[in-house]
Amino acid sequence: MNEMKPLRVVIAGGGTAGWMTAAAMGRTLGRTIDLTLVESDAIGTVGVGESTIPPLATFNRLLNINEAEFMRATEATFKLGILFDNWKTPDSRYFHSFGLTGKDHWSAGFQHFWLHGLQNGHTAPYDDYCLELVAALQGKFAHLPDNRLNYAYQLDATRFAKFLRQMAEGDGTKRIEGKIARVELNPESGHIAALHLEAGQRIEGDLFIDCTGFRALLIGEALHVGYDDWTHWLPCDAAIAVQTENVGPALPYTRAMAHDAGWQWRIPLQHRTGNGIVYCSRYLTREAALERLLGNLEGQVITEPNNLRFTTGARRRQWHRNCVSIGLSSGFMEPLEATSIHLIQRSILRLIRMLPAGEISERDVAEFNNQQDQDMEQIRDFLILHYNVTERRDSPFWRHCASMPIPDSLTQKIELFRETGRVFRKNEELFAENSWVQVMMGQGIMPRTYHPIAGKLSPDELDRLLGMIRENVSKTVASLPRHADYVADFCHAKDVNPAYA
């Protein structure tokens, strides 16, 4: 067989999506592709994706990225989960952690044994059985053998893109500076033939990747692929982001604080804290949102407010003809559970697995789109859960969220848990059983029954099981260093005060 010509891949747009794509494809595929990225320094990026979830650590390992080097470059800290304030009621609090809670049986999750314990006089909260949760709330962290402590990162997305750019260019990606003026289509096939830049260059390719953000210049404007609007389920449509100076040691978790028309984030990095308010413009004006955000900050503001408008939803096809949309051009999940970077990563790895050898297979395209749709719909349902399952009735926004119709797929998940305590994870679904359990119980759903396997344990056996798990968690957390101290030792970034690492 003659050696195949390298596939000409053109990435339109930089930022996190563009440079994650270039870094992953360049490092994985090497000389089998000819990789070009087109971006303009004159076009800003959203750049507020600061909170991540554990699959990013896997992504970095796949690309042989040195973790300490990556964290220094992005001023990152470790993240063990999210603390939710005021979601169930205005004075409530719960924690959605990474990792597992307790010890599952193959037939039933740990929540069933914990529920059985409640009926038998045990009073320790579900939280006490989760290593990541207890460590987070005590401000502790360390790498443990066998990856026993599951974590993600809190990072500077703009610095992350720069880090990946350096890596991608080192692996052979060609960067072309310029604004895209026109997308040329093949008149016979309807495929994209080339990108025309304002300076006059014409850039041909075999496969085009749209990383142009909300503008969706290729998949939307040129190829006219439609967009499904999900704001009837996820009504927040605006955000304002600002950065502040750190006022104390960085904690290993993100905060999501609900208010009467949305919520506010707080994300501690080594060199600063990321803050933002997410809100529904039908219930709160931009001016009132900014006033509320600035009135609930810790530390001196060091950036101008960055105003964002968005429509939560998904592109009807994320791969169409010879164009794949990755990042905001493919859809947007509001930042509540920090899934934006994960969806970029998921799209990239899926595309690499399905990369065409010559002519594009429509079967590949259909399979890619089907899997992408499943990913986004499952994440969508998990986000809707936070808004819909609430006891809050203190504002028009929360009354709307509590009464709005929800997808049948989510209704089934909620009612199954309410009636039986069961959660089933389907088709490599992102959020595992423990995530659903923590959020549903945190939002106020307590199962009416539990699996009969829990009753197999005698009272003494149940006492020993629950006591052993709590003791192991407590002892392990007690042995961990302070998160800020560990960050300072492991990946301290220059120009950062170690006291606030």
List pLDDT tens digits, range 91-142. Answer: 999 999 999 999 999 999 999 999 999 999 999 999 999 999 999 999 999 9
- Using the predicted structure, report yes or no on whether residue 280 has a pLDDT greater than 70: yes
The answer to whether residue 211 sits within a structural domain is yes
Could you give the angle at which helices 67-74 and 157-170 cross, rounded to 10 degrees?
130
Confidence band of 425 (pLDDT split at 50, 70, 90): confident
Distance CA 91, CA 93 (A): 7
Same domain as 449, residue 303: no
Q: Which residues pair with 175 in a beta bridge?
A: 37
- Supply the pLDDT for residue 283: 98
Q: Within a domain: residue 117? A: yes
Query: Does residue 169 lie within any of the structural domains?
Result: yes
Cβ partners under 8 Å of residue 272, min gap 6: 75, 243, 244, 245, 246, 302
Average confidence (pLDDT) over 12-27: 96
* pLDDT of 428: 80
pLDDT at 57 over 80: yes
Give the domain extent around 140. 96-147+378-476
Q: Please state which of the ranges 32-46, 169-183, 260-274 shows the lowest mean pLDDT.
A: 32-46
342 and 396 fall within a common domain: no
Q: Return d(Cα 325, Cα 330) in angstroms, integer.
A: 5
Query: Are residues 438 and 389 both part of a single domain?
Result: yes
Answer yes or no: do 195 and 317 share one domain: yes
> Do residues 298 and 394 share a domain?
no
pLDDT computed for residue 147 by the predictor: 85
What is the average per-residue pLDDT within 217-224? 98
Angle formed at CA 383 by CA 291 and CA 306, multiple of 5 degrees = 30
Q: Would residue 347 count as lying in a domain?
A: yes
Give pLDDT tens digits for 298-309: 999 999 999 999
Query: Does residue 63 fall inside a structural domain?
Result: no
Q: Is residue 59 assigned to a domain?
A: no
pLDDT in tens, 234-245: 999 999 999 999
Tell me how many domains the chain contains: 3
pLDDT at 48: 56
Say yes or no: 417 and 334 in one domain: no
| Same domain as 396, residue 285 | no
Q: CA 165 to CA 468: how far, in whole Å?
A: 47
Give the per-residue pLDDT at 1.
42
Task: Say which amino acid occupies 85.
Answer: D
Q: What's residue 214's pLDDT?
A: 94
Considering the domain architecture, whether residues 390 and 472 belong to the same structural domain is answered as: yes
Inter-residue contact 308 to 293 (CB < 8 Å): no
Statement: residue 75 has pLDDT above 90: yes
Q: Are 129 and 259 found together in one domain?
A: no
Q: How confident is the model at residue 427 (pLDDT cuts 50, 70, 90)?
A: confident
User: Domain of 200: which CATH number?
Assistant: 3.50.50.60
Residue 495 is predicted with a pLDDT of 64
Q: Would you state the pLDDT for residue 500?
A: 46
Give the whole-angstrom CA distance, residue 52 versus residue 70. 14
At 396-413, the pLDDT tens digits run 999 999 999 999 999 999
For residue 173, the SS3 value is coil
Residue 499 pLDDT exceeds 50 = no
Given a contact cutoff of 8 angstroms between Cβ atoms, the answer to whether 115 and 440 are in contact is: no
pLDDT at residue 49, as a whole number: 58
Sign, CA dihedral 430-434-436-442, equals negative
Mean pLDDT of all residues in 308-316:
96
Question: Given the DSSP bridges, would you call strands 331-332 and 313-315 parallel, antiparallel or unpaired?
Answer: antiparallel
Look at residue 74 and tell me whether its pLDDT is greater than 50: yes
In a domain, 195, yes or no: yes
The alpha carbon dihedral of 333, 338, 341, 345 has a sign of: negative
423, 455: one domain: yes
> Taking a C-beta distance cutoff of 8 angstroms, is the pair 267, 154 a contact?
yes
The model's pTM: 0.95
Q: What is the DSSP letter of 132?
A: H
492 DSSP assignment: P
Predicted confidence (pLDDT) at residue 42 exceeds the cutoff of 90: no
Q: Are residues 327 and 224 in the same domain?
A: yes
Between CA 401 and CA 347 the distance in angstroms is: 30
Residues 324 and 183 occupy one common structural domain: yes
Exposed, middle or buried, 231 (CB in 10 Å: 0-12/13-18/19+)?
A: middle
Last residue of a domain, one of 272, 292, 309: 309
- Assign residue 178 a region (left: φ > 0; alpha: ψ between -120 and 50; beta: otherwise): left
209 lies in some domain? yes
**Residue among 28, 29, 33 nearest 63 (CA):** 28
Confidence (pLDDT) at 157:
92
Q: How confident is the model at residue 449 (pLDDT cuts 50, 70, 90)?
A: very high
